[in-house]
Amino acid sequence: MKLSTELITSNFLSMSARLGNDPLQVQGPGGNTSIKDEKIMWIKASGTELANAETESIFVAVDRIAANAQANGYGDGTCIDTVIDPEINLRPSIETTFHAALNHKVVVHTHSISTLTHVISNEGRDVAKNKLKDMPFIMVPYAKPGVPLTNEILARVNSDTKIILLQNHGLICCGETVEEVSNLIKEVETRLYLPPKNISHTPPNKIIDKAFSWTSESWMAQDKIVNSYITSGSFYPDHVVFLGSGLPVSDANGKTPVVLHEGEGVAIRSDTTNSQKAMLKCLSDIMCRLPKSWIPLTIGVNAEAELLNWDAEKYRQKLAAEK
Ligand SMILES: [Zn+2]
């Protein structure tokens, strides 16, 4: 099959890079974009960063029909064997199946902070439904990324759907042109905007292991309520993948990237990767926007275990650690 690289237009690449460079849209190697015709779909490769869309080859071409078949239960759901060029050593995103199954030319998936802040609580979900009620949107319950999430999406989507809110995960917007999807994202972001509260903190006094240093996210340990939320578990998949379950209060295994000292601060290990730093900032960006009356719900220990023992995520962690 001949590759039609002209599908990847400069405005598609610039939208991808713009979202990737905005920590309120995408953090580290999270989020993904795709553009397709009837036969071919270009999708972000697993472990790459949208921020590099204009400077590196981060997209991989897959056979759209074969990837769509995987969305519907054929094959292993990774879409690795749907990559068209056998020479390429990049894997398509873990989330390739829903991109292939959604019948729109351009599909964009972000881990938008304003969306995440709404979709991690029942109160926020109700507010989001109200704010978007005249738009073509659906809300999908949490499922493990990959085929389980694609199944939940396909069970609810209809031919009008262009906006998908993923509970405890993020946002998908789709349409026929890059401009249409960019405008949709802008409109959703405007409607779901929540102002950040002032997050100043007192510099911690506690002496900690010299492998660690205090972070500007230390305010979360000094706020009693936020402290209790973020030590209770994880609210979305990429937190688990890059920081583990919740925020641990001790460095039990000598490798913990981030440790929360209750009432004192949040400490980060000196060799922490940029992806891990981005995920810590993500948690702080959400917590400083969370209205007091919204009670965040974790994805639960079973969902965390599914992510931690998943080969596809181990591959993404490995690539991210090399950066
Ligand atoms: Zn995602």
Q: Encode pLDDT of 213-264 as tens digits.
A: 999 999 999 999 999 999 999 999 999 999 988 999 999 888 899 999 999 9
Output the CA 23–ligand 1 centroid distance in Å.
14
Compute the distance between CA of residue 80 and CA of residue 94 in angstroms, rounded to an integer. Answer: 9
Output the CA 121–ligand 1 centroid distance in Å.
18
Residue 252: predicted pLDDT: 85
Residue 88: predicted pLDDT: 86
Compute the distance between CA of residue 235 and CA of residue 168 in angstroms, rounded to an integer. Answer: 6
Other beta carbons within 10 angstroms of residue 212's beta carbon come to 20
Output the CA 21–ligand 1 centroid distance in Å.
16
Domain spans, the chain: 10-192, 212-321
Is pLDDT of 127 > 80?
yes
Residue 199: predicted pLDDT: 86
Architecture of 10-192 per CATH? 3-Layer(aba) Sandwich (3.40)
Max CA separation in the chain (angstroms):
63
Output the CA 82–ligand 1 centroid distance in Å.
20
Output the CA 76–ligand 1 centroid distance in Å.
19
Contacts with 235 (C-beta within 8 Å, 6 or more apart), sequence order: 116, 120, 168, 283, 286, 296, 297, 298, 299
Query: Six-digit token pair at 192?
Result: 């779901």
Compute the distance between CA of residue 172 and CA of residue 219 in angstroms, rounded to an integer. Answer: 31
By CB atoms closer than 10 A (0-12, 13-18, 19+), residue 200 is exposed
Output the CA 87–ligand 1 centroid distance in Å.
27
Provide, rounded to the nearest whole percent, the portion of the chain with pLDDT above 70: 95
Compute the distance between CA of residue 34 and CA of residue 93 in angstroms, rounded to an integer. Answer: 10
Output the CA 109–ligand 1 centroid distance in Å.
7
Residue 321: predicted pLDDT: 67
**pLDDT tens-digit profile of 2-51?**
566 789 999 999 999 999 999 999 999 999 999 999 999 999 999 899 99
